[in-house]
A = this chain, B = another copy of it.
Amino acid sequence: MDERTGLPIVGMVGAGQLARMTHQAAIALGQSLRILADSAHDGAALIAPDVVVGDYRVLEDLHTFARGCDVLTFDHEHVPNEHIAALAAEGVAVHPGAAALRFAQDKQAMRERLTAMGVPCPRWAPITDAADLESFAAEVGWPVVLKASTGGYDGKGVWVVGSADEAQEVLGSGTELLAEERVAIVRELAADVARSPFGQGAAWPVVETVQRDGINVEVIAPAPDLDDETAEYAQSLALRIAAELGVTGVLAVELFETAEGLLVNELAMRPHNSAHWTIEGACTSQFEQHLRAVLDYPLGSPAPIAPVVVMANLLGGPDDVVPKALDERVHHLMAHWPDVKIHLYGKQFRPGRKVGHVTALGADLATVRRRATEAADYLMNGDRT
């Protein structure tokens, strides 16, 4: 409880863009997010006053940080699960809890659990050596998708291999692995929901996520031409996963759409790139909803506020985007696209790094997509004539 305001204090471990945007939402609720940052230069540490610099892998740092927080939550899934369990055992309110979060931290545990629940997944197997891989490939065919059970993100920790030979290096690296069949994907979708400790759930419209080189570049809400039945199925599935796994906060369920139906790809238990569009595009943004959920407040309406919303990520390109050029490009973007909303994360530019996003709203899918993606492309690459 913040004695100055009489309102609760949420502590978020991690100070990237998710914490940054959660702080924006916290302000409206009369709060101020407390943030555990790796460094004072992290995106969220630049814009919030209540920042502790510490190491999320060190239990004592987490302890110190949690003191005075009403609830602890996360900007990423890299906090050791045993630390989260230890904090909870000492009475710290942690959302999502260790038992749920495990399924976002460990892909093998996630696959086992979802399979046991009867949730459709790509065929998969744990892999310890080349023989395991050969045997799995004999069943599903090459190429096979190898994944690190833990620690991967944005295409990192994923390898598509055409033979056991190609997998030699990763097999020998000591990384805990699982293999998945390479699914014939029509497109990728995401079903984003929130669930509170009380058990209330809320689902945003199902979106299409467009990937380039394994990194999400564009999100279209709602997913174009998705039939109602499939959309409702995806939402129900995500709400069911949230309930059965005991997720509290936002749950993003990444899905493959295939000719045979939907398959679950990944789970994330925090605000997620696939729901950034909700800031302007939904009655309740995922950041506000995550705060409501982890505080066990009633959830807000997830209703969209425009027929079409498109978010395009700003990915660091060639490093000619020096700070001066960035400010100049922001000017030009605003002049050319006065209706496109800009979100910059206060990050240093590096090739492929997510440094911001833009969002466009409207009625016509083609127009809205073009405006969002052209604005993003311009901001990252400038005039290339």
A residues neighboring B (CB under 8 Å): 1, 3-8, 20-21, 23-24, 26-30, 32, 41, 45-49, 51, 283-284, 292, 297-301, 303, 305-306, 322-324, 326-327, 330-331, 334-335, 338-339, 341-346, 356, 361
User: Distance (Å) between the CB of A376 and the closest chain B CB?
Assistant: 14
A323 adjacent to B46 (CB under 8 Å): no
Query: A7 with B330: in contact, given A20-B27, A32-B47 (CB under 8 Å)?
Result: yes
A46 to B3, CA, bound (A): 12
B323 adjacent to A6 (CB under 8 Å): yes
- A8 contact set on B, CB distance < 8 A: 327
Partner of A334, one of B45, B292, B305: B292
- A5 contact set on B, CB distance < 8 A: 46, 323, 344, 346
B339 adjacent to A300 (CB under 8 Å): yes
Partner of A6, one of B7, B30, B327, B356: B327
Query: A46 with B342: in contact, given A24-B27, A305-B305, A305-B361 (CB under 8 Å)?
Result: no
A20 to B335, CA, bound (A): 26
- A324 contact set on B, CB distance < 8 A: 6
- A300 contact set on B, CB distance < 8 A: 334, 338-339
Partner of A32, one of B29, B46, B323, B338: B46
Partner of A49, one of B6, B27, B48: B48
A326 adjacent to B28 (CB under 8 Å): no
Q: Which 6 A-B pairs have the closest CB atoms?
A: A6-B323, A30-B344, A298-B335, A298-B334, A301-B339, A301-B338
B49 adjacent to A326 (CB under 8 Å): no
Query: A46 with B303: in contact, given A29-B344, A298-B335 (CB under 8 Å)?
Result: no
Partner of A51, one of B45, B49, B292, B334: B49
Query: A1 with B344: in contact, given A28-B24, A46-B49 (CB under 8 Å)?
Result: no
B4 adjacent to A41 (CB under 8 Å): yes
B339 adjacent to A283 (CB under 8 Å): yes
B47 adjacent to A322 (CB under 8 Å): no
User: Distance (Å) between the CB of A317 and the closest chain B CB?
Assistant: 15
- A284 contact set on B, CB distance < 8 A: 338
Nearest B residue (CB) for A349: B6
A345 adjacent to B24 (CB under 8 Å): no
A323 to B70, CA, bound (A): 15
- A297 contact set on B, CB distance < 8 A: 330-331, 334
A28 to B287, CA, bound (A): 13
